[in-house]
Amino acid sequence: MKIRIDLDLCQGHSVCLDEAPEIFSVEDQNDDYPKVKVLNLEPSVDLEDKVRLAARYCPNKVITLVEDDE
């Protein structure tokens, strides 16, 4: 799985950070809302459920998951 983020829509609610702190961080911006930062763009299989929850519960739906081709 790969993670894509639409930073134009992110408002830094930190739900992703609550769901998967191993993968996401939220950083303050000088002139805008805080924004999510992905610490690992290709998480290991054992973290995929947490990443899916982060994407599901993101208030602005800025997280897109791209499944690896099998």
Residue 47, domain extent: 2-66
* Mean pLDDT, 10 residues at a time, the chain of 70 residues: 94 95 95 93 94 97 86
Which CATH number belongs to the domain containing residue 52 in this structure? 3.30.70.20
Given a contact cutoff of 8 angstroms between Cβ atoms, the answer to whether 55 and 64 are in contact is yes
3-state class (DSSP) for residue 4: strand
The pLDDT value recorded for residue 67 is 86
pLDDT for position 68: 77
Q: Per the structure, how many domains does the chain have?
A: 1
Q: What pLDDT sits at residue 70?
A: 52
At 18 the pLDDT is 96
| Residues facing residue 66 across a β-bridge | 2
| φ/ψ of residue 60, rounded to 5 | -100, 5
- For residues 54 and 5, the answer to whether their CB atoms sit within 8 Å is no
